Amino acid sequence: MTEQQKKRRGRPRKYATKEEAKQAQLQQIKEANKKSPKSNYYQYKSKARNFITKKSTKADLIELQELINKRLEELSKN
């Protein structure tokens, strides 16, 4: 085992340079943004449910209830 191999124990690097790693990360972000609309719908729905059940305050719930009622009226007109 050489001296450099002793120093670099652990997981080997996936990319040779930080620039390559950054480019790969940007590519992953672009791919994630190209997800299907149905997939985005499920993600938004999940986030909304989690917010309501875990993080919301009484004021938040009242505001959301008003928004939901407005949206229901809009949908019933169409």
- 10 within a domain of the structure (yes/no): no
Residue 12: inside a domain:
no
Q: Is 45 inside a domain boundary?
A: yes
- Digit-coded pLDDT (tens) for 6-61: 666 666 678 788 898 899 888 888 887 777 778 888 989 999 999 999 999 999 99
Determine the pLDDT at residue 50: 97
Kind and range of the H or E run holding 18? helix 18-33
Residue 58 within any structural domain of the chain: yes
Q: Is 9 helix (H, G, I), strand (E, B) or coil?
A: coil
Name the band, by pLDDT with cuts 50, 70 and 90, for residue 1.
low
Does residue 16 belong to any structural domain of this protein?
A: no
Residue 74: pLDDT band by 50, 70, 90 thresholds?
A: very high
- Residue 58 lies in domain: 37-78
Residue 50 located in a structural domain = yes
First-to-last alpha carbon distance for the chain, in angstroms, is 73
What pTM was computed for the model?
0.52
Based on the structure, what is the number of domains in the chain? 1
